[in-house]
Structure 1
Amino acid sequence: MSNEIVLGVNNYSADNIQVLEGLEAVRKRPAMYIGDTGFKGVHHLIWEVVDNSIDEAMAGYCDTIHVTIEKNNSITVRDNGRGIPTGHHAKENKSALEVVLTVLHAGGKFDKDTYKVSGGLHGVGVSCVNALSIHLRAEVHREGKIFEQEYSEGKPLYPVRIIGETERTGTTIHFLPDSTIFTVTEYKYDTVATRLRELSFLNKGIRLTLEDKREEDEAGKFRYEEFFSEVGLKEFVRYLDATRQPLIPEPVYMESDKGTVPVEVSMMYNTSYSENVYSYVNNISTIEGGTHVSGFRAALTRTLKGYADKSGILAKEKIEISGDDFREGLTAVISIKVAEPQFEGQTKTKLGNSEVTGAVSQVVSEMLETYLDEHPKEARTIIDKVILAAKARIAAKKAREMVQRKNVLTGTGLPGKLADCSETDPKVCEIYLVEGDSAGGTAKQGRNRAFQAILPLRGKILNVEKAQEYRIYENEEIKNMFTAMGVQIGKDGDERALNIEKLRYHKIIIMTDADIDGSHIRTLILTFFFRYMKILIDEGYIYIAQPPLYLVKKGREERYCWTEAQREQAVKEVAGGGKEESVNVQRYKGLGEMNAEQLWQTTMNPEKRSLKQVTIESAAEADHLFSMLMGDEVAPRREFIEKNAKYARVDV
């Protein structure tokens, strides 16, 4: 497909670099350009640089991209593409390399003769990375020479110079984010690895590597991973479904680049009850969907229903099928390439190009129809799953109606165990989901009754990963969460959508014990939110409380500690040069071990507490993680634990 994407083959030169506007205000208002100056923003710098290399790869000129996290948390990205042009740029009267790195929205991707599509069009380019870095060095291997230029805060330290000769081609960008701009300057290995893995699936045949020089193993080697996919989306779907029981032996794969919109789709059915459709435009994750997803869903429903009608299966069952039924247990990845994508939605992650709907719909209809005709056994298995889904949907609808009817019949419908707050403005109200009646009682005594509500949850809630939907609404603890929060099921014609217009709290805080059971309960609750109340995570309403692990005490002096390092430091300081054995260290294994005042001061007081907000960096990766942690397959869970044990914090 890469040969179809590029239009200009050998004419990538200084003249192809078009300047749209200057670089003013990036340092003054960085959030306007990269989203924020925290965790996401600092990682976005890597994506901008890697996007340039991916563009070269999509154009057919690059097949290897190396990313290195250096010891000082600087980043090096090296590729074997053509190298950024270094010739004289007539309009700007300087090297094209300097133009690309110092002028916002300057680059070959704005010249349609250089790149037909570009993964970086949603961003602001490497010049923005340069502006927000205390130091950046560009090294270009091109035309037999090695070119170099360094910058500080976006300003060149010297003109582009030649520092040697070379037989290879490519670009190396090394940058150190400016700590006066970013509130977070430490890179998270797993976040970078997740994105590179995703890019390897979306761009088959491209090798991406990640090396972390901040940490060595026992053999003195740095942490290192290589991401490479020979078959692309089929392998992506297998990866996402690795922890689920498949219904069909192989993923269905569809690809077409005949029209103006290259389309690639892979899908797989499994025995789970959730739908997981992930969509991308020019490698950009479109988490809000858009016209490409609409085209896929319409074609899927139309084609499967047509096959079922033709086979006479539905007539025998006498059951009404809806679009949702065709997508239960479906995992699919849609990847398209669009020359000029138009994004909509609050987060600019919803595709709006109208021409895409028909293009995707046609490809999926034609190829899925062929697949069903050629694989009658698999087709029958899928239709049987659809019929089961329809029956379960009807049962789930009745169960949901029972939950909501109970709210109406009992007035407020609030659970008896809920200790509500007196405030009614959801923006200032918060609810603690607390493990067990004992801890719930302590929390009720220690809270601020004005704005803090407490809902004790008895034992472990239902594992929604293994349960049909109607079972979920029959679970007492889950029903209590629905009614306490005031959310409704059904919105805008979608009977499964969550309506949060009457949400009663804008902080929903999970507070469990700091032990294995507490971690399990927290994961069960998070799985439920991810599968059935994901909008609450997307809106930033879900938090995790951080109760202390230790109380370090000597005489009247007390220190609460949340980490092992804090405990060690506190013991030394409280000992005051004396014997550390004289210091009493209490390990809190449960919330019930603290009295109400201690719980308030350490975990519930807004002025002193520490809350972790739950966010989703990658929906596809989160789906894979939850299905692996809470699903039936033991082997992938064991492998995950063994692989990540050395990087995890273990509480004993």
Structure 2
Amino acid sequence: MSDDILQEKLIEPKDYSASSITVLEGLEAVRKRPAMYIGDIGEKGLHHLVYEVVDNSIDEALAGHCNHIDVTINEDDSITVSDNGRGIPVDFHEKEGKSALEVVMTVLHAGGKFDKDSYKVSGGLHGVGVSCVNALSTLLRAEVHRGGKMYVQEFSIGKPLFDVKEIGTTDKTGTIVTFKPDDSIFTTTTYKYDILANRMRELAFLNKNIEIILTDLREKDADGNAKTECFHSTRGLEEFVEFIDQSREKLIEKTIYITTEKGGIPVELAIHYNTSYSENIHSYVNNINTIEGGTHLTGFRRGLTRTLKTWAEKSGLLDKVKFDINGDDFREGLTAVISVKVQEPQFEGQTKTKLGNSDVSLSVDQAVSIALGNYLEENPKDAKTIVSKVILAATARHAARKARELVQRKSVMTGGGLPGKLADCSERDPHQCEIFLVEGDSAGGTAKQGRDRRFQAILPLRGKILNVEKALQHRVFDSDEIKNIFTALGVTIGTNEDSKALNLDKLRYHKIVIMTDADVDGRHINTLIMTFMFRYMKDLVSNGYLYIATPPLYLCKKGKVEQYCWTEQQRRHFIDTYGGGKEDSVHTQRYKGLGEMNAEQLWDTTMNPANRTLRQVTIESAAEADRIFSMLMGDDVPPRREFIERNATYARIDV
């Protein structure tokens, strides 16, 4: 189906006015329980506010009324989002007795997206809309350009400071929203450019031909120009897959791109095969990243497996294969992005990360079957290359089965079945237990002495674990250190449907803490472990179980004053404060390794819940995480070199 036809399906048939605004409920509990609406009150929730406002502009684009969005981080960490859509209606809302703009800004679940005639589909991560952003902002200013006139209204913590007023005339249309997050609500109000850039890039790929400009007024070059980036895609998901896969070696040159509509559901997807051993599928519903998958992912997998298997059998390539080939084998080395637009999406759980609409599965299945079948018939050379890799994958999977079964047998055991190096804790409630994955026996010994034995377990790891990004699956399960991690955690891996599916029913610890040295080698080991966790234990990360310990880099002393410093900036501040800026007047101990600390120091700085800082590992963008791990740990050197050069400001050479 052409893009023009698809766009026509999404345009509303009647005017967008105050009568289109449907009110579902009030705005009572947002400030009392903000985490219920935006996930948390930390960094994730802070950035979520931006996504909610931008999603309103994207909804205008989906309806065919917007193609340009500006997102600006202002110098005071307020945010401005502007678009060239129709502008939020400002006329009188009969039911609420106030302007439609004020309704949208002050009533939870109020907006045109609840009226099927105004928006056929809409995004938004939780559907709480800009009213939630308003409730959690000390100041929000909404400027509307509509009908040749300009209107403005301002709010503070969700309450209007004045009624909508007309401030001039204009030949443009659109909405400009500026808001300042409430620092009495959020633990941090400092926006991170990279987090916003990843989401804006993702939205540009998911909604081709929309231009999104991200500007950071806090960061300017020598000429006074602010940091600015333009995100725009003409080929959509096709470019998205190529962006994710840029560090991987191609198996086939072409990206298989499908855009169609089945059962009234627009389906867009892009498929690419590479020489890696991992499967990376990223799914979206109305621009929402469904990291737990759902019916659209089920339909994709079913359609892909059946279509490829049918072609392989018909071509005779499977005639000499004497063992079964399953869905996992067809997806090894596959990178895919699936995007569907659903009028009334039904999500499982509060976080909107798993789609539940049963009809979507059939639509995606049919779309994949028809389009992929045509591609295989028209490109027999590519088809043969893919099936040959599938057969190799099946062969390796059979070799991996015994290794995986060994991991499972050990994982379900306790006591004598646990790794010999594991120093377990006495507590048995996993909610209360935490395990530290520690680099080397020396640091492991110190950690064992310094820990609280009631709830803290220690598992020393021998050197650098296997780089799973470049290893066959059976090599991964053959690794002693990886087997020890599986066994210590008590998890099993593999089901009939998915040999990499993780079973967390018997997980023994709900805090898994990576604790490595603060030097370059320690960070490398940290990255190796996180790569393994992302590829083989992603559910641990998604459930919030993975953390990174932050040991200090220095212990600074001046007379009787002692202070641990985690950064070079903190060390310089200590020298300026207590040493008069003279470095040689301060004694500095550099901790290159955890083993250089005694047990009491390690407990005080890194392990004591009362003092320590643990960084929780989350997946804001699975596609970006996929790309970064592939780039850092894969075979392709140039992208890694470019990344290091780009981040050289933060690099340190340890001698």
TM tier, smaller: over 0.9
Deviation sequence 1:326-357 (CA, Å, 0-9, x none): 11111111111111111114633211111111
1:186-197 alignment to 2 at 5 Å? 186-197=190-201
| 1:421/1:451 contact within 8 Å kept | yes
Cα distance in 2 for partners of 1:72, 1:390 equals 56
Deviation at 1:268, TM superposition (A): 0.6
Deviation sequence 1:87-135 (CA, Å, 0-9, x none): 2223333322222212222211122111111113842111221121111
Aligned to 1:547: 551
Cα distance in 1 for partners of 2:37, 2:406 equals 48
Match of 1:153 among 149, 154, 157: 157
| 1:513/1:589 contact within 8 Å kept | yes
1:32-47 alignment to 2 at 5 Å? 32-47=36-51
Q: Which amino acid aligns with 1:369?
A: G
| 2:38/2:126 contact within 8 Å kept | no
1:603 aligns with 2:600: no
Q: Once structures 1 and 2 are overlaid, which stretch shifts more, 69-78 or 23-32? A: 23-32
Deviation at 1:449, TM superposition (A): 2.5
1:530-609 alignment to 2 at 5 Å? 530-575=534-579, 581-609=584-612
Aligned to 1:14: 18
Aligned to 1:621: 624
Aligned to 1:282: 286
Aligned to 2:348: 344
**Secondary structure at 1:349 match in 2:** coil
**Secondary structure at 1:257 match in 2:** strand
Deviation sequence 1:571-608 (CA, Å, 0-9, x none): 23433x69653211121111122122222221122222
Match of 1:438 among 435, 442, 447: 442
**Secondary structure at 1:277 match in 2:** strand
Structure 1 residues 318 and 582: alpha-carbon distance in aligned structure 2, compared to 1, 3 A threshold = same
Residue segments in structure 1 that go unaligned for 5+ positions in a row: none
Aligned to 1:487: 491
Q: Which amino acid aligns with 1:418?
A: L
Q: Which amino acid aligns with 2:147?
A: E
Match of 2:82 among 78, 81, 103: 78
1:387-406 alignment to 2 at 5 Å? 387-405=391-409
Match of 2:264 among 256, 260, 267: 260
Deviation at 1:225, TM superposition (A): 0.9
1:642 aligns with 2:645: yes
Deviation at 1:321, TM superposition (A): 0.6
Q: Which amino acid aligns with 1:38?
A: G
Deviation at 1:55, TM superposition (A): 0.8
Aligned to 1:58: 62
Match of 2:357 among 335, 344, 353: 353
* TM-score (normalizing by structure 2): 0.95
1:48-197 alignment to 2 at 5 Å? 48-120=52-124, 122-197=126-201
1:522 aligns with 2:541: no
Cα distance in 2 for partners of 1:108, 1:572 equals 57
- Identity within the alignment, %: 68
**Secondary structure at 1:313 match in 2:** coil
**Secondary structure at 2:592 match in 1:** coil
Q: Which amino acid aligns with 1:192?
A: L
**Secondary structure at 2:320 match in 1:** helix
**Secondary structure at 1:4 match in 2:** helix
| 2:408/2:491 contact within 8 Å kept | no
Aligned to 2:238: 234
Aligned length: 650
**Secondary structure at 1:314 match in 2:** coil
Deviation at 1:9, TM superposition (A): 4.8
Cα distance in 2 for partners of 1:87, 1:548 equals 58
Deviation at 1:317, TM superposition (A): 2.2
1:382 aligns with 2:386: yes
Cα distance in 1 for partners of 2:176, 2:466 equals 50
| 2:283/2:338 contact within 8 Å kept | yes
Q: Once structures 1 and 2 are overlaid, which stretch shifts more, 426-435 or 317-326? A: 426-435
| 1:109/1:121 contact within 8 Å kept | no
Q: Once structures 1 and 2 are overlaid, which stretch shifts more, 415-424 or 516-525? A: 415-424
Q: Which amino acid aligns with 2:578?
A: V
RMSD over aligned CA atoms reads: 2.0
Deviation at 1:547, TM superposition (A): 0.9
Deviation at 1:494, TM superposition (A): 4.1
Aligned to 1:475: 479
Cα distance in 1 for partners of 2:628, 2:118 equals 39
Deviation sequence 1:423-463 (CA, Å, 0-9, x none): 33322222221112222222222222332222221111110
Aligned to 1:325: 329
Cα distance in 1 for partners of 2:564, 2:632 equals 31
Structure 1 residues 347 and 141: alpha-carbon distance in aligned structure 2, compared to 1, 3 A threshold = closer
Structure 1 residues 504 and 4: alpha-carbon distance in aligned structure 2, compared to 1, 3 A threshold = same
Deviation at 1:641, TM superposition (A): 2.0
Residue segments in structure 2 that go unaligned for 5+ positions in a row: none
Deviation at 1:158, TM superposition (A): 1.6
Q: Which amino acid aligns with 2:611?
A: K
Match of 2:313 among 277, 292, 309: 309
Q: Which amino acid aligns with 1:83?
A: G
Deviation at 1:222, TM superposition (A): 1.7
Aligned to 1:450: 454
Cα distance in 1 for partners of 2:453, 2:352 equals 39
Q: Which amino acid aligns with 1:73?
A: D
Cα distance in 2 for partners of 1:572, 1:243 equals 44
Structure 1 residues 227 and 382: alpha-carbon distance in aligned structure 2, compared to 1, 3 A threshold = same
| 1:282/1:335 contact within 8 Å kept | yes
Cα distance in 1 for partners of 2:413, 2:10 equals 64
**Secondary structure at 2:141 match in 1:** strand
**Secondary structure at 1:606 match in 2:** coil
Q: Which amino acid aligns with 1:363?
A: A
Q: Once structures 1 and 2 are overlaid, which stretch shifts more, 118-127 or 388-397? A: 118-127
**Secondary structure at 2:71 match in 1:** strand
Q: Which amino acid aligns with 2:92?
A: H
Deviation at 1:226, TM superposition (A): 0.8
